[in-house]
A and B are shown apart, each in its own frame.
Chain A
Amino acid sequence: MNLLRMFTRQQSGAAARERLQVLLAHDRASTGDSELVTKLRDEILRAISKHMEVDAEKVSVKLERGIPVSTLFVDVEIPHDAERKAA
């Protein structure tokens, strides 16, 4: 048996607890609004499109769940000639 591994291995029970706490906080809060990210993506895309031409495929909106805060990642790829086209 790998003795070093036995002593250095992290206990997985604690990891299970932490993952569950994050997950359930969101399960409980967000039932009913699973469409939130899709809605946000559409509205963000509409707002940007007013000012520049962007490819809908190149806009990514992701929600990473955490405690006490979650992070919303908005990644928009803007081509160099976007402003010129819109203008």
Chain B
Amino acid sequence: MGKVIVVTSGKGGVGKTTSTAALGAALAQNGAKVVVVDFDVGLRNLDLVMGAERRVVYDLVNVIQGEAKLTQALIRDKRVETLFLLPASQTRDKDNLTPEGVEKVITALKSAFDWVICDSPAGIERGATLAMRHADMAIVVTNPEVSSVRDSDRIIGLLDSKTLRAENGETIEKHLLLTRYDSARAERGDMLKVDDVLEILSIPLLGIIPESTDVLRASNVGSPVTLADGRSAPAIAYFEAARRLKGEALPIVIPGDKRGLFGKIFGRRAA
């Protein structure tokens, strides 16, 4: 039986889709059978980030409404053969997602895959609550910035009340993924510190993804960053986060902390 993960945040634009693609690919690159599911009905983007936008025929809504079989809607990645995508519908809206339909799809995926990673839409409405509904584990994607942290706090509250596990009195594992971490800004003291965010949200840290043009470059060419350039800083951070998801205890290095004296003098950008 596979594990169901929801990648969520409340706020939009913090890196949910990027992280879903990168973590999904990282897990699959190590041999696990992974499916990434786009729950952002009406505004799908995971297909684009995965580079599969021209191969979408059927989607999650088609499967839920019985217009297509699950196997017809799943798209196998061309680079990693254990990686699959279940796209969202672009033309319909979230009302086409029913709790029963979502449950059926997730149950079927769980029995066929090691990891089912659900990319939640932004917000706290139906789409987001359905994406988290069946999760065993949640990845809360947060930027070190006030509005993102506040929204994450709200989402953590929902995870503890609106998920199936919460309703059954079980706990849902929550992990913080701090994305778009800018070490130059951190060094100047103009960004929330990692410890600040951890103290405020009080959930364990899964990883810190540095702000990087590599992420943008990867999405431009339609490739999860772990596949586009496996040796780039964000890719390494995602690979490590994926290993922590599997239960490995890897120490977390705060980006920029390794920088020596030379880097401190010359690496600092003028404000």
Contact = CB atoms under 8 A, between A and B. Distances in A.
Interface residue SS majority, chain B = helix
Contacts of B186: 13
Interface stretch (B52-60, B82-90, B145-153): B145-153
B200 A11 contact: no
Interface in A39-86: none
Interface in B148-197: 149-150, 153-154, 157, 186, 188-193, 196
Contacts of A1: 270-271
Given A1-B270, A28-B157, A20 B193 contact: no
A13 B190 contact: yes
A65 to B, nearest CB: 13
Given A19-B146, A28-B157, A13 B200 contact: no
A24 B196 contact: no
Contact of B190 (A11, A19, A27): A11
B56 to A, nearest CB: 39
Contact of B196 (A12, A17, A23): A17
Task: State the main secondary structure of chain A at its contact with B.
Answer: helix
Interface string A24-38: 100110010000000
Contacts of B150: 20, 23-24, 27
Q: Chain A: interface residue count, which band? A: 10 to 19
A19 B270 CA distance: 27
B192 A17 contact: yes
Nearest to A6: B271
B270 to A, nearest CB: 7
A74 B146 CA distance: 30
Nearest to B193: A13
Contacts of A14: 189
A19 B191 CA distance: 13
> Counting chain B CB atoms within 10 Å of each CB, which of A12, A21, A31 scores highest?
A12
A80 B200 CA distance: 50
A87 to B, nearest CB: 51
A16 interface: yes
Contacts of B188: 11
Interface in B184-231: 186, 188-193, 196, 200
A20 B200 contact: yes
B264 to A, nearest CB: 16
Nearest to A31: B157
A14 to B, nearest CB: 7
A5 to B, nearest CB: 9
A83 B189 CA distance: 57
**Which has the most chain B C-beta neighbours within 10 Å: A13, A23, A27?**
A13
Given A13-B190, A13-B191, A17-B192, A27 B200 contact: no
Interface of A: 1, 6, 11-14, 16-17, 19-21, 23-24, 27-28, 31
10 contacts: A1-B271, A6-B271, A11-B188, A12-B190, A13-B186, A13-B192, A17-B193, A20-B150, A24-B200, A28-B157
